[in-house]
């Protein structure tokens, strides 16, 4: 019964994420992702894939235009680029990912990967913002 329940609905696994080690202020973060929906259906609400940059001074949520409604069972490759806000301070940031509400930008879906933090985001590594 547990195995059957795990397969119902959607179940997103992040297989690979690449992003640059550094980016300029006012710059863009180009990234590539490879996902697998190990469930039997897509999501039925318009949740968003987001990247958050966080350090001790600030947090910035960057929302992608990924259409999760089309993430059917099987492999999904999603590549994009996101632009930093104009007043992004230089420094080292933790890059985190989550599937978020389009209204609150808070995580709403647990991924089928390890490493979730207390706020529901998944740390993926560090990125340096510098000139």
| pTM value surpassing 0.75 | yes
- The two structure tokens encoding residue 50: 């987001």
Residue 47 CB partners (closer than 8 Å, separation 6+): 68, 99, 100, 101, 102, 108, 109
Q: Does 25 have pLDDT greater than 70? A: yes
pLDDT tens digit sequence for 41-82: 889 899 999 999 999 999 999 999 999 999 999 999 999 999
C-alpha 81: how far from its chain's center?
12
Percent of the chain with pLDDT over 70: 94
Q: Does 1 have pLDDT greater than 50? A: no
**CATH number for 41:** 2.60.40
pLDDT tens digit sequence for 94-106: 999 999 999 999 9
Per the structure, the count of domains in the chain is 1
- ∠ CA 81-40-30 to the nearest 5 degrees? 10
Structural domain span for residue 79:
2-129
């Amino acid at each position: 019964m547990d195995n059957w329940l795990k397969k119902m609905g959607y179940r997103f696994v992040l297989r690979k994420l690449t992003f640059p080690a550094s980016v300029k202020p006012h710059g863009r973060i180009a990234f590539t992702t490879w996902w697998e929906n190990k469930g039997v259906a897509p999501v039925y609400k318009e949740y968003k894939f987001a990247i958050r940059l966080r350090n001790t001074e600030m947090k910035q949520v960057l929302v992608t235009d990924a259409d999760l409604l089309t993430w059917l069972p099987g492999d999904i490759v999603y590549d994009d680029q996101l632009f930093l806000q104009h007043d992004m301070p230089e420094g080292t940031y933790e890059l985190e990912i989550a599937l978020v509400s389009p209204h609150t930008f808070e995580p709403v879906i647990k991924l089928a990967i390890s490493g979730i933090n207390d706020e529901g985001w998944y740390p993926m590594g560090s990125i340096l913002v510098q000139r």
